[in-house]
């Protein structure tokens, strides 16, 4: 158990809908990272927050957004969903050092029908 929690574990929805994925980092960790894992694209970095502020953006679509709240949990919002958005979404957390390891949560499997 990495100490990073994600809910829900599975999510099934229809095209055009909007969903919210939630991540709670390890106790004391200030940074949260979101990754998408799909069969064709592999593991891709989406976005990172540090202590409530956006710090880095990767291959995140404009239909996707995220935020980190004062209690440090983070939410990834996916809207106008398409079939191609079906994937595993992971979050990871680190504390404050560039040598820290990113510890990953168990992921949310999103299926868009």
Partner 1 sequence: AQSVAQPEDQVNVAEGNPLTVKCTYSVSGNPYLFWYVQYPNRGLQFLLKYITGDNLVKGSYGFEAEFNKSQTSFHLKKPSALVSDSALYFCAVRGSYSGAGSYQLTFGKGTKLSVIP
Residue 95 binding partner 1, by CB under 8 A: yes
Among 65, 67, 86, 102, which residue interacts with partner 1 (rule: CB under 8 A)? 102
Residue pointed to by tokens 């994937």 = 87
Span 11-50, contacts to partner 1 by CB under 8 A: 30-31, 33, 35, 42-45, 48, 50
- The dihedral through the CA atoms of 86, 109, 29, 53 has a sign that is positive
Contacting residues for 10 by C-beta, under 8 A, at least 6 apart:
108, 109, 111
Would you tell me which residues interact with partner 1 (CB under 8 A)? 2, 4, 30-31, 33, 35, 42-45, 48, 50-51, 55-56, 58, 90, 92, 94-107
């Amino acid at each position: 158990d990495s100490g990073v929690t994600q809910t829900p574990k599975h999510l099934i929805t229809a095209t055009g809908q909007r969903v919210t994925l939630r991540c709670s980092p390890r106790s004391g960790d200030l940074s949260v990272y979101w990754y998408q894992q799909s069969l064709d694209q592999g593991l891709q970095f989406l976005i990172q927050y540090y202590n409530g502020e956006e710090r880095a953006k990767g291959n995140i679509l404009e239909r996707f957004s995220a935020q980190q709240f004062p209690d440090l949990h983070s939410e990834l919002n996916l809207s106008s969903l398409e079939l191609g958005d079906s994937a595993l979404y992971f979050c990871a957390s680190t504390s404050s050092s560039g040598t820290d390891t990113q510890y990953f949560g168990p992921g949310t499997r999103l299926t868009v029908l």
